[in-house]
Amino acid sequence: MSSEGVVPNTVTMVGVLSAVSGLALLEKGRSIHKYMKNNGFIFDGVLGTGLIEMYSKCGSIGSAISVFKGIKRKKLGHWTAMIVGLGMHGMSNRALKLFKQMRETGVEPHAIAFVGLLNACSHAGMVEEGRKYFDLMIKEHGIKPTVEHYGCLVDLLCRVGQLEEARDVINRMPMRPNKIVWMSLLSGCRKYGNAEIGEFAAKNVIKLDPEATGCYVLLSNIYAAAGLWDNVSKLRSMMNERGVRKEPGHSLVEHKGVVHMFVVGDRSHAQTEEIYSKLDEMGQRLKQEGHVPDTSQVLLCVEEREKEAELSHHSERLAIAFNLINGKKGTPIRIVKNLRVCNDCHNVTKLLSSIYEREIIVRDNSRFHHFKDGHCSCMDYW
């Protein structure tokens, strides 16, 4: 469009920011932000909201906060986008504080603001606070809960292992639960190893979407973790009969304007030899730190050594190795992963952030993880 000499307007830039957000291309987002500033775009409206969302989804929550602070006439959309951003980055206390500030300025929250607030509580396991704001929304603000609000409450309960209560909330919902609600319950059952409630949740997902790949995978993982290999075999046969294919996990890294994608055991990259050499080095340093692989995450009926090899070649580890080779020392490593980070990779990344003195920011399909000095911002709630 630029080469044709067509001048973009606000709608154009909203679309571009949305595209950048989806791919988490931080450097591209920064260049677009600079373009907008140089060409006189005003950020007091929807563009301000778009920039906050873009920086949040690209893993630079500090830049999102800077944009928010720079907006002189803050509107509900700006407050809401910032609350949502803080929540997805594990800064739940700051999200709650910002909500309080919003109310003190006289801005009345709407239903979407409460979705962001409840999500913030969920990402930090703040059960009592979540219940409090759910009630506040109804009693003080007269907002009728939607399926999204109930979904946040269910997700919050599932993340802390209160699966029976989560099931009860679903049963009491005044509307029909959607696929996302049932998947939250199923994910909780996967995390806490509850096959009974997991089967119940999976049956309801399949009723709504017979081709829901994630549902079959989670239920298969629950069975495998419990050693129910006959059930795993039957479920996989069912998947084959229905033509359901498991989505392969992959991790994306942006380097010098180019997006590099890695899958588990990937050997297609031009720097494969260097990457696997770095993986070996990482493995040795992890052993020196006393790391013992959590092979319960490899849900295959194979030898222990094969399980450890499988874990060491997960896509995010390949992405980290690539960045350690090519990135500037001391700069953050930013990774976008299409699936949930497994427990072992989460523990490994915490250690690697300390070993190599690098902040590692991972966006998985649930939230952001900021690994730094051996700790993660999610506090193990994801």
CB 360 within 8 A of CB 352: yes
Q: What is the DSSP string of 59-76?
A: T-HHHHHHHHHH-SS--H
Dihedral of alpha carbons 166, 367, 250, 161, sign = negative
Whole-structure pTM value: 0.80
Q: Identify the domain containing residue 57 by its residue range.
A: 1-73
Residue-level pLDDT at 366: 78
Number of DSSP helices (H) and strands (E) in the chain, helices first: 18, 6
Q: Kindly give the confidence (pLDDT) of every residue in the chain, 382 residues in length, as a single tens digit, with 9 standing for 90 and above.
A: 989 999 999 999 999 999 999 888 898 999 999 999 999 999 989 999 999 999 999 989 999 999 999 999 999 999 999 999 998 888 889 999 999 999 999 999 999 899 989 988 988 889 999 999 999 999 999 999 999 999 999 999 998 999 999 999 999 999 999 999 999 999 999 989 999 999 999 999 999 998 888 898 889 889 888 888 899 889 888 888 888 777 788 999 988 888 899 998 889 999 999 999 999 999 999 999 998 877 665 555 444 455 555 677 889 999 999 999 998 888 999 999 988 888 889 999 999 999 999 999 999 887 889 999 999 988 776 6
Last residue of a domain, one of 73, 88, 105: 73
Residue-level pLDDT at 280: 94
Q: What is the DSSP string of 35-56?
A: HHHHTT---SSHHHHHHHHHHH
Residue-level pLDDT at 117: 92
Does residue 193 fall inside a structural domain? no
Does residue 153 fall inside a structural domain? no
Last residue of a domain, one of 39, 73, 107: 73
CA nearest to 316, candidates 381, 256, 369, 245? 369
Number of structural domains, the chain? 2
3-class secondary-structure state, position 310: helix
Q: Which residues pair with 259 in a beta bridge?
A: 254
Does residue 332 fall inside a structural domain? yes
Amino acid in position 333: I
Does residue 305 fall inside a structural domain? yes
Does residue 133 fall inside a structural domain? no
Last residue of a domain, one of 25, 44, 73: 73
Residue-level pLDDT at 274: 96
Residue 127, CA atoms < 13 Å, CB-side half-sphere: 11
Does residue 343 fall inside a structural domain? yes
Does residue 97 fall inside a structural domain? no
